[in-house]
Amino acid sequence: MKVVILDNPAAVAHYGADLFQQQLARKPASVLGLATGSTPVSLYRELIARHRAGLLGFGEVRSFNLDEYLDLPATHPQSYRQFMQREFFDHIDIAPGNTRVPAGDAADPIAACEDYERAIVDAGGIDIQLLGIGRNGHIGFNEPTSCLASRTRVKTLTRETIDDNARFFRAGEPQPHMAITMGIGTIMESRLVVLLATGESKAAAVKAMVEGPVSAWCPASILQMHPATVVLVDEDAASHLSQPDFFKHIERENQALLARLGRG
């Protein structure tokens, strides 16, 4: 696990966008794993700006989103399909048929989960997976106590997650308490994982993920076992880490080596 501590959320988005741009330069037909939530929005805006500047294109890209609320139609303004359209897909040249979001309104959601797993395999697997982290350490909607080898499935959301997401729903509007999510085992098969965390509210979860034991109580901690995970955090999200200066030292040394090799 590579931990990079940056000055602010804008720097986190910029670094994350660099990783996606490098991936698309290496492989224009990359398979992207995408996330929703407030943290990835700045990264999406950075990628949109670079696309408009002619620095990268998405014409050959396929994408799979992490999750979707159960029983929420794709047309609902709070569905993650609509989120992705508003915040990203409508502003780039990705083919609509190449974007996949779990079918939260499927008549048989269990069968839909199995179909989603097969689609990822048929696409050749995910090249780069974007993640956020919940205050309780969840990734996707893999809540605490989730199986660390799980596949795409229906999950019940914790009260904490429901409360955190309540701000997106109008007063009195029904709010889903279940979701379809990629499993932790599915996420772990991604070739590169990029996790973003900003703000002091995520600091305890970041510490548990980076320094704690690998445990189902902090699902993100399994990323300690992933061979290529980059954790991008701002100063506030890093504020509970025991040795933040050491991580900064590592990043400086890594950047110096890349510069010496002409890869900076």
Cβ 38 vs Cβ 142: under 8 Å: no
The alpha-helical segments, DSSP class H, found in the chain are 9-26, 38-52, 80-87, 109-122, 159-165, 184-188, 203-211, 244-260
Among residues 46, 65, 105, 136, the one annotated as catalytic is: 136
Q: What's the pLDDT at 170? A: 75
Which tokens in the block code for residue 52? 């408009």
Give the model confidence (pLDDT) of 178-204 as tens digits: 999 999 999 999 999 999 999 999 999
- Sign of the CA dihedral running 106, 107, 109, 113: negative
The first and second tokens of residue 82, run together, are 């609509």
Cα separation, 115 vs 151, in Å, equals 11
Q: Is 71 a catalytic residue?
A: no
List the alpha helices (DSSP H) in 53-108.
Answer: 80-87
Choosing from 51, 143, 226, 234, the catalytic residue is 143
State pTM to two decimals: 0.94
Q: What is the pLDDT of residue 160?
A: 84
Q: Which residue has the tokens 């914790």?
A: 158
The pLDDT of residue 171 is: 77
Look at residue 193 in the predicted model and tell me its pLDDT: 98
Please enumerate in sequence order all residues whose Cβ is within 8 A of that of 162, keeping only pairs 6 or more positions apart, or say none: 175, 177
Q: Clarify whether 67 is annotated catalytic.
A: yes
List C-alpha distances in Å: 37 to 14, 42, 116, 148, 241. Answer: 17, 10, 21, 22, 23
Catalytic one among 67, 68, 105, 127? 67
For residue 201, the 8-state DSSP code is G
User: Known catalytic residue: 136?
Assistant: yes
Of 65, 68, 127, 138, catalytic: 138
Is it true that domain 2-260 has CATH number 3.40.50.1360? yes
Q: Of 233, 204, 208, which Cα lies nearest the Cα of 219?
A: 208
Active site residue 87: no
118/125 Cα distance (integer angstroms): 10
58-89 pLDDT, tens digit per residue, is 999 999 999 999 989 999 999 999 999 999 99
